Amino acid sequence: MQLTALLELGASLAVLGTWPALLEKARRPIDGDGRGERCPHICFLDYALSYGCCGLVVLLVASGGQRGALSLPLGTPGGAALCLVAAIGGALLQTGNACMQKALQLGCPMTTLLPLQAALCVVIGTTANYCLQPDRSDPRLLFSGVFLYFLAILSSSSAQFRHQFDADSDGGPKGSSTKYTKIEEGGLKAVAEPEEAGADARARRNRGLAIGAVGGVALGGFTPAFNISVNDQFGWSGGARLSVWGANMIFSLSFMAVAVFSQSRQLSAKHPGESAWEIARRRYWESWGRGRAFAVAAGTLCGIANYLQFDGGKRAGFAAAFVVQAFPLVGTLWGVYLFGDYKGAKRATVALLGSTYVFYTAAALLIGLSAR
C-alpha cells in the first residue's frame, strides 16, 4: 500500500471513531441531571450542515483552487449518471447515520452499536468493492480480514450482553433504590415498577439494535457508490470521470440535503398543523449553546474522514480502504471514558473487550496488506 494512502486511511480511522462521540456529547445534557438536553434532530442538522460545508471546503483545498474544479460531467447521460450515483452514496450515508442517531436515542450503547454497524458495512461494502475492482486486492487476505471482523462483532456483543447480565444480577446500578421510575412513551408519562421499566428499556434497546442493523446495511452501500462514481467500471461516461473531490462534493451536498429534509419532517411530526420548514427554522435558531459546537465539530471531522477514506481508496483500492472500519477501536475508548460504558465491568467482560481489540487489529492489518 502506498505511504500516502496508508497515512490517509490511518487518519480517517482515528477520526471516524471520534465524531460519533462528539455528536452524542452534543445531545446529552451538560449538568448530568437531564436538564438542558438538546433536541437530537437539531443536533443532527448542525452535524449535516457542517458536513455539507466541509465538502465544499475540501473541494477547494484538494483541487488547489484550480480552474474547472467545480465542473461536472453533466453534458452526457453517462456523466450525469455518475453524478447521480455519487448523490445516492451520500443519501445512503445519511440513512446509516440517522439510524445510528435513532438507535442511540433508544438506549442502544455506542460500544455495541458502532461494531454492529461497522461489521455490516465491512461485509457488504468490501464484497461489493472487490467485485468492482478484483485486481486491486488479494482476496485471501481481504476476506480473512472480513472474517475477523465477524469475530470482533461477536466478541463485542458478548461483552455488552455479559456486562448487562452482571448488572442485572447485582440488582442494577448502585443507588437505584427508588421504588418507582418514570418512563416515557409517545410523549406520555407513566409510573411503572422497576421491573417494568427494565423490560421497557430492554425492548427499546432491542429496537435500537434492529434500527442500527438497517443503518449498517445502508452504510455498506455508500463506498461502492462512490467507487463507481470516480472509476466508472461500467463505462457510462465514455472517459469523462469525476475527480475524487468533485464526487465528494456531490456526495456531501446530497447527504446534507437528505438530512435537512428528513430531520425537518421529524420535527414537524411533533407539531402537527405547522409547516415543517417553519418549525425547523424556529427550533434551529432558538437552539444555541455548547452542544452546537460539538455537533458542528462532529460534522466537520466526519467530512474530512470520509474524504481521506475516498482518496485513500482511489490510491489503494476501495476494498482495501475498508481498513478504516476498525474505527470502533477508537469509538469504544470514547464510550468508556466519556459516557461510562462498561463501568464496573467484571473480568470476563474485560477479557471479551480485549479479544475484540485483538480481532479488530488483526482484521485491519489483513485488509491493509491485501492492497495490490
pTM for this entry: 0.76
Model confidence pLDDT, tens digit, residues 224-261: 999 998 888 888 877 667 888 888 999 999 999 999 88
What's the pLDDT score for residue 118? 75
Total domain count, the chain: 1
pLDDT grade, residue 313 (50/70/90)?
A: confident
What's the pLDDT score for residue 144? 92
Alpha-carbon dihedral sign for residues 269, 272, 273, 277: negative
Given its phi and psi angles, is residue 34 left (phi above 0), alpha (psi -120 to 50 degrees) or beta?
Answer: left
Best CA proximity match to 228, nearest among 19, 31, 78, 71: 78
Percent of the chain with pLDDT over 70: 77
What's the pLDDT score for residue 272? 63
Best CA proximity match to 312, nearest among 357, 367, 253: 367
28: DSSP letter: S
- Give residue 252's domain range: 3-369
What's the pLDDT score for residue 14? 85
What mean pLDDT, rounded, does the chain reach? 78
pLDDT grade, residue 101 (50/70/90)?
A: confident
Could you write out the three-class secondary structure of 80-121? HHHHHHHHHHHHHHHHHHHHHHHHHHCCCCHHHHHHHHHHHH
What's the pLDDT score for residue 92? 94
184: enclosing H helix or E strand: strand 181-185
